[in-house]
Amino acid sequence: MIPYGKQNIAQQDIDAVVAVLQSDFLTQGPVVPQFEQAVARYCQAPHAVAVNSATSALHVACMALDVTQNSLVWTVPNSFVASANCALYCGASVDFVDIDETSGNLCVLALAEKLRHAQETGRLPDVVIPVHFAGQSCDMEAIAKLARQYGFKIIEDASHAIGGRYQSNPVGHCDYSDICVFSFHPVKIITSAEGGMAVTQNEALAQRMRSLRSHGITADPALLTEPSHGPWYYQQQALGFNYRMTDLHAALGLSQLAQLDQFVATRNKLAQHYDALFAQVEGVTPLAQSDNQYSAYHLYVVRIADSTRQLHEYLVTQLRAQGVFAHVHYIPIYLQPYYQQQGFKAGYCPASEAYYHSAITLPLFPSLTAPQQQQVVDTLSQLLSDWQHTQTALKE
């Protein structure tokens, strides 16, 4: 079976983790700040805060931006549930902006339209969370322009997009957002096993996130609100969590970061090869790429023309039966039973639903070979023509 994604672990990664195991600190040691500084440097942003997952990063990012039970957060349906759950953790309300079916990313026109309407009804969002789907940056300049006009904050969910670029700056530069979040889950571009990072240009936001990831506790003399009781003294100043990354995870992440550009270059090369092969296959269209960005290509997604639920299910099931572990990203978040219980109805974001029933994620990872890519393309095109023959036979 060809998996849809998998991590690349080299001897240098193993050595880095073993070195931490043999050191004095398994957690709260020197490697976490080293990893943070390396990611900040990579993104050309001043601050990075490491946590134990992107989900935690999204949560502390929302809290740092004052998302509370009175707040409203908007994101897109075409994402992992964590992009919306972070708002609910804060007791806030969540709502969804439809996507552009051709790219899978937030549709800026739909956002502008929804904002106009929200202004009329008096319920503008406090925070919008665009998701850089499959590794392709959203149109952040346009979203930031709307943020200034309507007064909302922006968290980029860049779980798919570390190593990508937007307008020639690294994703995570945060020129058009308040905070940008990365995931280091093994299926993502680089991994720390579990792990996440929140990057920002704003020092106060970084400080709040740093406090929240560790119980809201500080021992920094500069931050104490009353005189120290002695060398053991610390203060809990907010209600935080234990969202800390360990030094073992940070060592793996730091070692992987050194290979990031190579991984992304390989992913781009493999994606271009798929694009060339699919150009010969009628009815299969890769995701549209805009030219003001360089995708990190976390996922390689194709859309099936004139797709139906039956055809979509047939293709993904048969691909798996024939050794190609295809996947589907994503079930629109609001179609999940939990979100249906919150009152969302099927049909709410038509482009997201049409996209969902036509999109197939195909295997993409740095060690994927050209013969494997050929096998993926041949299997999918054979299945499509089998389906067409069956449909024609049924009509006759």
Instruction: Enumerate binding residues for ligand PLP (CB under 6 A).
Output: 53-55, 79-80, 82-83, 131, 157, 159-160, 183, 185, 196
Distance in Å, CB of 85 to ligand PLP, minimum: 9
Sheet of strand 300-304: strand arrangement:
284-286, 300-304, 359-362
Report whether 192 contacts 249 (CB < 8 A). Answer: yes
Closest to ligand PLP by CB, 183 vs 211, is 183
Closest to ligand PLP by CB, 54 vs 248, is 54
Closest to ligand PLP by CB, 104 vs 196, is 196
Distance in Å, CB of 89 to ligand PLP, minimum: 12
CA nearest to 329, candidates 302, 305, 303, 356:
356
Distance in Å, CB of 55 to ligand PLP, minimum: 3
Distance in Å, CB of 299 to ligand PLP, minimum: 9
Lookup: tokens for 103: 């790219």
The DSSP call for residue 225 is S
String of b and e for 16-39 (b: at least 16 CB within 10 Å)? bbeebeeeeeeeebebbebbbebb
CA distance 225 to 311: 63
Closest to ligand PLP by CB, 198 vs 304, is 198
Residue 109, judged by CB atoms within 10 A of its CB (0-12, 13-18, 19+), counts as exposed
Distance in Å, CB of 225 to ligand PLP, minimum: 32
* CB neighbour list of residue 385: distance below 8 Å, 6 or more residues apart: none
Per DSSP bridges, beta strands 47-51 and 196-200 are antiparallel
Closest to ligand PLP by CB, 51 vs 111, is 51
Closest to ligand PLP by CB, 84 vs 206, is 84
Lookup: tokens for 276: 């060339």
Closest to ligand PLP by CB, 75 vs 266, is 75
Distance in Å, CB of 249 to ligand PLP, minimum: 11
* CB neighbour list of residue 182: distance below 8 Å, 6 or more residues apart: 39, 54, 57, 158, 159, 161, 162, 172, 188, 196, 197, 199
> What is the torsion angle, in degrees rounded to the nearest 10, for the CA atoms of residue 157, residue 159, residue 162 and residue 165?
-40
Distance in Å, CB of 330 to ligand PLP, minimum: 8
CA distance 59 to 127: 12
Closest to ligand PLP by CB, 57 vs 377, is 57
Distance in Å, CB of 187 to ligand PLP, minimum: 7
Closest to ligand PLP by CB, 54 vs 362, is 54
Closest to ligand PLP by CB, 150 vs 325, is 325
Distance in Å, CB of 279 to ligand PLP, minimum: 28
Lookup: tokens for 118: 């929200």
Distance in Å, CB of 32 to ligand PLP, minimum: 16
* End-to-end Cα separation, the chain, in angstroms: 36
Element (H, E) at 350: helix 350-356
Distance of CA 29 to the CA centre of its chain: 27
Lookup: tokens for 45: 């942003």
* Residue 63 C-beta-side C-alpha neighbours within 13 Å: 22
CA distance 228 to 224: 7
